[in-house]
Amino acid sequence: MIRMYKTSPRTFTAVLLLLLTTILCAVYSISLNRELVQKDAKIDELTDLNVKLQNQLEKQQKPYLVTAIGVSTEPRNVTHPHPHFTFEGVVFNVGSQTAYNARLDIIAYYKDGASAFNMSLPLGNLGRWEAGQVSKIMATSDWIGNYTITPTWSDAP
């Protein structure tokens, strides 16, 4: 047997208002949670950007060498060609600190893949925005096929 209780309109209205208030609070809480997740994602994005910018700033506060070097392995004299390796140009320190013990590390290989030479050309200490000139002609026993020229330096003396 089901018993029905009589409720007053005031009780019904109070229960209905309490139910609506609870639903609205739940919806508002979900909305705030969604906004919080978006803001957390934005904070993560800005933190990553900050790290990248700090790394760039750190690199700019150190020495950094940039080269403008021309290289030739072609004959200089068409009548009597002889194998050689010629390079000349400029090495710039574009960083904000002195590049200590700056040098060019040069590795060259003959056309058959055999090692031709591995050498370092010292440039000394290059201050901020200072440039070092390089010019060298090296006779080789055969034609150079491949090479690398890498600027290297120390951050401290």
> Which tokens in the block code for residue 72?
């030739």
CATH code for the domain in which residue 135 is found? 2.60.40.10
Distance between CA 20 and CA 28 in Å, rounded? 12
pLDDT tens digits for 94-120?
988 999 999 999 999 999 999 999 999
Q: Is 1 a residue whose pLDDT tops 60?
A: no
The pTM for the full model equals 0.61
Question: Does 122 lie in the same domain as 104?
Answer: yes
Question: Does 86 lie in the same domain as 34?
Answer: no
Helix (H, G, I), strand (E, B) or coil at 128: coil
8 A C-beta contact, residue 58 and residue 116: no
Question: Does 82 lie in the same domain as 144?
Answer: yes
| Domain ranges, residue 24 | 8-60
Q: Is 30 left (phi over 0), alpha (psi -120 to 50) or beta?
A: alpha
What pLDDT is recorded for position 57?
80
pLDDT tens digits for 29-82?
999 999 999 999 999 999 999 999 988 887 777 898 999 999 988 766 666 578
What pLDDT is recorded for position 77?
67
